[in-house]
Amino acid sequence: MNVSKDKIKILVAGGGGFIGGHLVKYLKKQGYQKIRAVDIKPLNKWCQLDNEVENLSLDLAKKDNCFTSVKGVGEVYNLAANMGGIGFIENNKADCMLSILINTHLLMAARDENVNRYFFSSSACIYTASKQTNPNNPGLKESDAYPAMPEDGYGWEKLFSERMCRHFQEDFGLTTRVARFHNVYGPHGTYKGGREKAPAALTRKIIEAQISRNHEIEIWGDGQQTRSFMYIDDCLKGIDLIMHSDIEEPINLGSSEMVSIDQLIGYLEEISKIKVTRKYNMSAPKGVRGRSSDNTLIKKYFDWEPTITLKNGMKILYSWIEKEVKKR
């Protein structure tokens, strides 16, 4: 059913988070005038707060709050989850898995409220561990999710939630779309406190080294583990394309530009114009050995894939975190 953007109401679950805050701004620019953003955090803790939309501080793990949030809504974007970087998800497996309550109750509310479309943000953490033991990862295909052996805790929750979306579509006719995010980064996200991911954490460490003139930084692992990182603007475009497509199966949304952690640090050295001494901590959480996105499917459907280079994206992130650190 086609509804004009000025008529349809949008729910962004997790609207106080990094991606959710950017998505609210993106949807406004696309012409959506009725947006409800919901997050468990108090409003003064949101990554971005747009006072021109409806903002609610609610715990979406609770069923009643999900039904309140979905009331009168035409499209749901579920970005809400208890998550963070590898240090957080490896040490908070039970809390990460409790996010299943959010997706469960939002799906139930979306079904009962006759929502038009439902988007679920999954993760590359759902992929089978045995496919990620080599730093020279050829790229994870969507079919690599099975036989299932995802990241313990967080990955299992995401994979199970994918299946719930599938079965709500099959059994109840709720149109669901699923994107598997690969390491999204950019400004207005977490860069300290324990939940930050590698791009933000390393950027902060380089900036602090520059300010303190102590140019030694700690690296988790040996620096040879590989990842691909997607800039937030590419993520937002991909969400929009996938949400309003006919793609019924989960699909990768990530950059295919794979780099090692040491290469990422090299980019930051170029940006900061300092050289650092790298102290490798082999006992710290490291995650899988190699992970990248195979974008064959998304290119087939849209003739598009994330295109913002890591160097260009990191320059923007560095500038934002530098300002934030200097404020402190």
Q: Yes or no: say if 233 and 143 are a contact pair by the CB < 8 Å rule.
A: no
Residues 6+ apart with CB under 8 A from 321: 187, 191, 200, 203, 204, 207
Given 154, 231, 267, 318, the catalytic residue: 154
**Burial (0-12, 13-18, 19+ Cβ within 10 Å), 138:** exposed
Q: Are 294 and 138 in contact (CB under 8 A)?
A: yes
Q: Check: CB of residue 198 under 8 Å from CB of residue 227.
A: yes
**Bridge pairing between strands 34-39 and 117-123:** unpaired
Under 8 Å between Cβ of 313 and 231: yes
First to last CA, the chain: 49
Active site residue 280: no
Which H or E run includes 217?
A: strand 216-220
Alpha-helical regions (H) of 2-54: 18-29
Residues 113/105, Cβ–Cβ less than 8 Å: no
Query: How many Cα atoms occupy the beta-carbon half-sphere of 69 within 13 Å?
Result: 35
Could you give the residue numbers annotated as active site?
154
